[in-house]
Amino acid sequence: MKRTGPLYRLFDTLMVALRSTLFQILSILSLTSFVPILLVGNLIPFKRRYVILFGYGRSVLWLTRHILGIRWEVEGFDRLPEPGGPPPGRLIVSKHQSTWETMFLPTELYLASFVLKKELLWVPIFGAGLKAIRPIAIDRKAGTQALKQILKQGKDALAEGRDVIIFPEGTRLPPDAEPDYKIGAAMLAVQAKVPVYPVAVDSGCLWRKGQFLKRPGTIHVVFGPPIESTGKRADALNAEIKAWIETEQQRMYREYGCAAMNDSRNASRDASGTTSTPD
């Protein structure tokens, strides 16, 4: 069977569908195994509770590697100061393209509190687990009130020595989407007087939002050098964060490729009725 022929492509798609289905089933089973812990969660000290509940995140990452065939390479993690030291904690500002980084980052960071939409707390079982690890749950439609919540709870978490994760675009976006960085992360950094540790990630090239099939390959994650907030306006800092992350994103797409971007371009070309022709 030719690896580029139609039969091979059909076989490849069937295998991806089988792996993706098995991954979904096992992820749900893994989640339900944490129900007994949730029933007594408030009786467990927070640090221990966090580690136990993010056993689910580690199980999803294990399934990602061994069932989906998705691996990851991490650069620059040593740029972060040692966790668990004197407050404040570390402020991580990351690109957000898939569910993958919501599992990876909290398992690698220290008692991380992350900003999420409050609707996730309503998801059966999963929402109870999220609530138990004390996230910053906001109503994204609340505007100024949501921003105040991010600033207050973010400063409180940093003052406790916890890491804070913010996805500045507010939602998962495909790799070829126009970047839209909200100012909340930069305002938190300025008010809390902490540096920002930017993170670039190309997970959306394999694990696309709203798509059931997840193709094997390698996700690349890059932790950038700290971007100081001292003496800066929030809008200027936000522009600096965006510039570093987006420059790194483009470098990764050039160096490693991104099938999702190619598929989007092909779909757009087909929709417009244009086709490429040889010279």
* Residue 73: predicted pLDDT: 98
Cβ within 8 Å of residue 197, ≥6 positions away: 79, 80, 90, 91, 92, 93, 223, 224, 226, 227
Pairwise CA distance, residues 257 & 217, whole Å: 11
Q: Predicted confidence band at 35 (pLDDT cuts at 50, 70, 90)?
A: confident
Q: Among all chains, which residue has been given the structure tokens 């050039």? A: 254
Average pLDDT over residues 154-158: 95
* Residue 132: predicted pLDDT: 86
Within a domain: residue 59? no
- β-strands 91-94, 70-75 pairing: unpaired
Q: Is 197 helix (H, G, I), strand (E, B) or coil?
A: strand
Q: Which is higher by pLDDT, 138 or 87?
A: 138
**43-64 pLDDT tens trace:** 888 888 898 888 999 999 999 9
Within a domain: residue 227? yes
Within a domain: residue 35? no
Within a domain: residue 29? no
Within a domain: residue 186? yes
Pairwise CA distance, residues 225 & 41, whole Å: 36
Nearest by Cα to 106 from 165, 146, 61, 148:
165
Average pLDDT over residues 73-90: 90
Question: How many domains is the chain partitioned into structurally?
Answer: 1
The per-residue pLDDT of the chain, averaged, comes to: 89
Average pLDDT over residues 6-13: 80
Find out whether 214 and 207 touch, Cβ atoms under 8 Å. Answer: yes
Average pLDDT over residues 193-208: 96
| Structure token digits, residue 273 | 């009725």
In the sheet with 196-201, reading across from the earlier edge strand, the strands are: 70-75, 217-223, 196-201, 91-94, 164-166, 113-117, 136-138
Q: Is 77 helix (H, G, I), strand (E, B) or coil?
A: helix
Which residue type is seen at 195? P
Average pLDDT over residues 91-117: 94
Within a domain: residue 233? yes
Within a domain: residue 65? no
Residue range(s) defining the domain that contains residue 142: 70-272
Within a domain: residue 45? no
Pairwise CA distance, residues 93 & 1, whole Å: 45
- β-strands 70-75, 217-223 pairing: parallel
* Residue 164: predicted pLDDT: 97
Average pLDDT over residues 94-118: 94
Task: Report in angstroms the alpha-carbon separations of 153 from 50, 64, 113, 212.
Answer: 18, 32, 9, 34
> Is residue 259 scored above 80 in pLDDT?
no
Q: Which is higher by pLDDT, 129 or 112?
A: 112
Handedness of CA 144, 92, 200, 216 (dihedral sign): negative
pTM of the model: 0.87
- β-strands 196-201, 217-223 pairing: antiparallel
What is the secondary structure of 203-238 as a DSSP string? GGGTS-TT-S----EEEEEEEPPPB--TT--HHHHH
Q: Which is higher by pLDDT, 169 or 42?
A: 169
> Is residue 241 scored above 80 in pLDDT?
yes
